[in-house]
Structure 1
Amino acid sequence: MTDTLLVTGASGQLGRIVINHLLDTFKVPAARIIATTRTPANLADLAARGVDVREADFDDHASLAKAFKGADRVLVISTNELAIQGKRREQQLAAVAAAKQAGVAHLLYTSMPNPEPGSPIVFAPDHYETEQAIKTTGIPYTILRNSWYDENLFMSLPQTLASGHWYTSAGDGRISYSARDDMAAAIAGALASGAKESTTYTLTGPKAYTVAEVAALVTDVTGKPIQVVQLSDDALTEGMKAAGLPEPIARLLVSFDAATRVGGLGMVTDSVEKLSGRKSVSLKQFLETNKAKLGG
C-alpha cells in the first residue's frame, strides 16, 4: 500500500500518539505521513523523522484545503473547541468540505458513542452533524466513535480522593473506559489499513463499569475509601457551580452522567483490539500504572 496518510490535530494528545503508532507499531514510512497542526514548531521531532508537517487551522478554511492536497486517507480528529457553542461543528464541517475539495479518497473521523438526536450529552450534535456531513460527501469513510478515556478520570479523582466523596448522577449506568494509547493504536490501525468500504466502529475498553465499581477499583489501588453520593442532575449541577465551575461547564459535565445513567456510554465492543492487533489494558491495570497521578 502506498497511500499517503494525513492526521489533523497532530500536536494534540491523541494525534501525536496516532502518528507514533503509524511509525512504530504499523511501520508506515514517514514519507507517507502528513501531520497538520496550527503550530508546526511543536512537531519538530516528527519532522526530523521525515514526517511531512503542514500548517492547518480549522478556522482558516483555505489552509485546510491546501494542507489536505495530495493526501489519500485523512483522519479528522474532532476539535476541542467547546467554549463557543457551534464553533466546533463549524470547524469540523470545514474540514469535511476541505477533504472533498482536495479529492481525498477515504475520510476518517473521531466521533463519540451514540451521538444521534436524543443524546443528553451537550456536544453530541457536533459529532452527529459531522458524521452526516461526511456521509453526504460521498467519500468512503471510517467513523470511529471513541468511548471515554481512562485519562478523563484524572480530572476528578484527585479531588474525589481528597474529600472521600464521589458526587454523581450516573446511577447504575456504566462507562466502557479505554486507555488513550489503546484507542490511538486502533485509530492508527484503521488509518493504515487501506480499507475502502464505509464503516462505523465504536471504540471501547474491554469492560464497562458503574461509578461504584470504579470507586472500588480506585480504593483497591490506593487504599483510600470513597463514598459514592448519588444526586439528581440539577443538584449535581448546583454543587459544581457552588464549587466554582461556570454553569456551561457544569452542565456539560453533568450531561455525561445523564448519558451514562440511560446507557449511552456502556457499550462494549472488541473493535479496539481488532484494529490495534493487541490486547487492551484493563482499567485496574491503568490505575495501578498511574497510581501517582491519582493524588489524594
Structure 2
Amino acid sequence: MTETLLVTGASGQLGRAVINHLLDAQKIAPSSIIATTRDPENLADLAALGIAVRAADFNDRTSLEKAFEGADRVLIISTGDLDLKTGRRLKQHQTAVAAAKAAGVSHLLYTSMPNPEPGSPVLFAGDHHGTEQAIKASGIPYTIFRNGWYQENLFMSLPHAISAGKWYTSAADGRIAHGARDDMAAAIAAGLASGSKESRIYTLTGPQAYTTNEIAALVSEVTGKPLEVIQLPDEALTEGVKAAGVPEDFARIIVSFDANTRAGRIAEVTDAVEKLSGRKPRTLKQFLEANKAALLG
C-alpha cells in the first residue's frame, strides 16, 4: 500500500522544495502527498495538482491532529518563531509531536541543526535539542535531518561586506560546510519517500568546509572585488550588527552563529546529501558564481 507523506510549512522555501522533489525526483503521486500551512490559499497551485492542502496551526494541537489525520510519514519542518524570551518554538514542536502520536503517524521526520546538544553557542539550539528529545520520547520511529547552514544564508552578510570591502566576523578560524538549501531538500524528500522504518539521524552539509578567510578569497576570485576579513570580539560584532539596524535579539542570534563556528561545532562534512538524494551537492564556488549579480547588488 502506498504511504501518505505529509510536509508541514509547505509554503516556506524548504517545504516547497521538498514537495517539488517528491513530485519530480521521487515520482510520488500528488494524491499521496499532504501539504500543510497556516494559510491554505498560499498553496492553491499545489491543490490544483491534486495534492491535499490542509490548514495547520502549530499553536493549536487540535488543528495539527486534524491536519495529520491519515498521514503515514510526517515531516515537521521547524517553525520560524525565534522569540527567545517565550520558548514558543519548542512548545510548537512539542505540540506537533504530540499531535502526530495522537493521529497514529507511523514515522516522524524533523529538520534540526548540527550538534544542538546543551553547550551549543547557538541561541536557539535548545529548541532543536528539546524537539529531538520529544520525538525520541514519543516512541514513534524517526528520521532527524540536522541541516547545516545554507549557502543562501550568506546573502545576509556578503552583499554588504562586498560593497564595503570589509567582512566583520567573530568566527576566527572556524570552518563551515555551507550547503545548498535545494540539495538538502532533495535529501529530505528522499528520506521522506524512502519508506524506511529505522530511526536515523543525518547531518546534511555541503561538500567542503571553509574558514571565513577562505570564503572571502573565493568571493574575491568570483566577483573580482577585494574583501578583507576583520575579526572582532562577539560583543563588538553584536554592537555593529545592531548599528546596521538589526533588532538586538536577532543580532545576538547572528553573532551566536559565529561563536558556534569558532567553537568548531559546524565544521563537519558528510556525504549524507549525496547518499540520500543520489546527486552531487553544489559547491560553494558554484553558488557564488550562480549568484554573482545578486551578491554585487
Deviation readout 1:160-199 (Å, 9 max, x if unpaired): 0111100000000001100010000000000000000000
Instruction: Please give the residue correspondences for 1:201-216 in structure 2 after superposition, counting only pairs within 5 Å.
Output: 201-216=202-217
CA distance in 2, matches of 1:41, 1:242: 38
AA matched with 1:212: N
Distance 1:3 1:246 in 2: 44
Q: Which residue of 2 aligns with 1:139?
A: 140
* AA of the residue aligned to 1:67: A
Q: Provide the residue aligned with 2:285 in structure 1.
A: 284
The 5 A counterparts of 1:1-296 are 2-85=2-85, 86-296=87-297
Q: CA separation in 2, counterparts of 1:119 and 1:11? A: 29
**Contact 2:84–2:249 (8 Å) recurs in 1:** no
SS, match of residue 249 in structure 1: helix
Tell me the CA shift for residue 152 of structure 1: 0.3
Matched position secondary structure for 1:59: coil
User: 1:84 deviation in Å?
Assistant: 4.9
Shift of 1:249: 1.2
Structure 1 residue 241, shift from structure 2 partner:
2.0
Same amino acid, percent of matched pairs: 70
Q: Over aligned residue pairs, what C-alpha RMSD do you find?
A: 0.9
Cα offset for 1:155? 1.1
| Structure 2: gaps (5+ residues) | none
Instruction: Compute the TM-score of the two structures, normalised by the length of structure 1.
Output: 0.98
Once residues 83 and 131 of structure 1 are traced to their aligned partners in structure 2, the CA distance between those partners, rounded to angstroms, is: 19
| Whole-angstrom CA distance in 2 between matches of 1:246 and 1:60 | 28
Deviations along 1:15-57, one digit per CA (max 9) or x if unpaired, are 0000000001110011100000011111111111111111111
Q: Gaps spanning 5+ residues in structure 1: where?
A: none
Deviation, 1:248, is 1.1
CA distance in 1 between partners of 2:27 and 2:142 (Å): 23
Aligned residue-pair number: 296
- Separation (CA, whole Å) in 2 of partners of 1:118 and 1:84: 16
User: 1-side partners of 2:54 and 2:247: how far apart?
Assistant: 36
Q: Which moved more, 1:76-85 or 1:3-12?
A: 76-85
Question: Counterparts of 2:74 and 2:134 in 1: how far apart (Å)?
Answer: 15
- Taking structure 2 as the reference length, the TM-score comes to 0.98
Contact between 2:174 and 2:262, CA under 8 Å: does it hold in 1?
yes
- Report the alpha carbon displacement of residue 11 of structure 1 after superposing the two structures with TM: 0.3
Aligned equivalents of 1:46, 1:282: Cα separation in 2:
30
Q: Residue 61 of structure 2 aligns to which amino acid in structure 1? A: H
d(CA) in 2 for partners of 1:286, 1:243: 26
Distance in 1 (CA, whole Å) between partners of 2:83 and 2:240 is 21
Report the Cα distance in structure 1 between the residues aligned to 2:110 and 2:296, rounded to whole angstroms. Answer: 34
